[in-house]
Amino acid sequence: MDVRRAAERYPGGDRDAGIESWHAFSFGPHYDPDNLRFGALIACNEERLAPGAGFDEHPHSHTEIVTWVVEGELTHRDSAGYETVVRAGDVQRLSAAGGVRHVERNAGDAPLTFVQMWLAPREPGGDPAYEIVRGIADSTPYAVPEAGAMLHVRRLAAGERTAVPDGAYVYAHVVRGRLRLAGEELGPGDAARLTDPKDVEAVAADAPAELLLWEMRGA
């Protein structure tokens, strides 16, 4: 298991424009040839947008983009004609496929925090697609078959345990709270990269915790 702490993330964004970004993988000017991807995952960005701030229209291609809102509301608009407001508990996915452009903004009055995860598809090309699942339940994994991946959301009460999937690659990101995973204490923004985990559990500390688990197939 490879643990990466929140403080080790690469800083980004534009604070003068109300954008604060923290990158778990090589991103933009922060290049580390040993930190390009894990399994299908090529980005896990923590984004914080002040009211009125956002990312103007920009392109993506050959990427599965999955977004999890922590607090606030994210307004999404793309060149395929989709426009939605994403709230805490919703899972949003934009399949960039052969190419798509989108805008992401905080059009609300409160600060916005979200986690955005990019996955490499197993086959490039195709037509862009969009999906949003409102209020996804803990017991409902979210599949991204194009990337051979499955997202598991775990909201744990104090002291509660949950099994970690037995995947070829498993990426665990702590959204909030503190928990123990395979002997390591993890807090908000911390992540763990597990290869071929077997019989691993995550245990919340003395307060509720929220955990995102990516279960990914091998090559």
DSSP per-residue codes, 126-151 = ---EEEEETT--TT--EEEGGGTEEE
Report the pLDDT value the prediction gives residue 139, as an integer from 0 to 100: 77
Among the listed residues 210, 46, 15, the one whose alpha carbon sits nearest the alpha carbon of residue 112: 46
Report the pLDDT value the prediction gives residue 125, as an integer from 0 to 100: 86
| Predicted TM-score (pTM) of this structure | 0.95
Mean pLDDT for back-to-back runs of 10 residues, the chain (219 residues): 96 94 93 95 97 92 95 94 94 92 94 97 91 91 96 96 94 97 95 96 96 90
Report the pLDDT value the prediction gives residue 83, as an integer from 0 to 100: 92
Report the pLDDT value the prediction gives residue 219, as an integer from 0 to 100: 62
